[in-house]
Amino acid sequence: MEELINIEKSPEEVNVMSPLTWAYVGDCVYELFIRTHLVNTTNLKPHKLHIEAIKYVKAHAQAEILNRIYDDLTDEEKDIVRRGRNTENHHLPKNSNIQEYMYATAFEALIGYLYLTKQHKRLDEILNKILTVQ
């Protein structure tokens, strides 16, 4: 994924951020990836695009994706996932259970961390792998 904006934080600064901050960015990066993929591969109208995107970005789907790609992650990436999963979040999910929500947060944290640390090649690998495991 090409850099969308100028990231001014060093990898060391990103590493000490809250995993919820990584997840906050990862949510946006992942949703943009999915929306762009759908626009590139379908001729759906906006409402139908939204309905289709939800299938990929809801907590249940993200938890499933993380489960499917977990064995292919590096030890560092697994640590990022662990930190994202274990971060205390006071938000209660409305359309999933707490465990799914924790794993979805972990997935988003991984995506955000890779994006913020400018590991674009690895981010591309993981995002494109998602399309083959769905």
Cβ atoms of 128 and 37 within 8 Å: the answer is no
User: Is 124 part of the annotated catalytic residue set?
Assistant: no
Residues 8, 26, 33: CA angle, nearest 5 degrees? 105
| Residue of 99, 86, 113, 96 lying closest to 23 (CA atoms) | 113
Annotated catalytic residue, options 27, 71, 75, 124: 27
If phi > 0 it is left, if psi is from -120 to 50 it is alpha, else beta; for residue 10 that is beta
Catalytic residues: 27
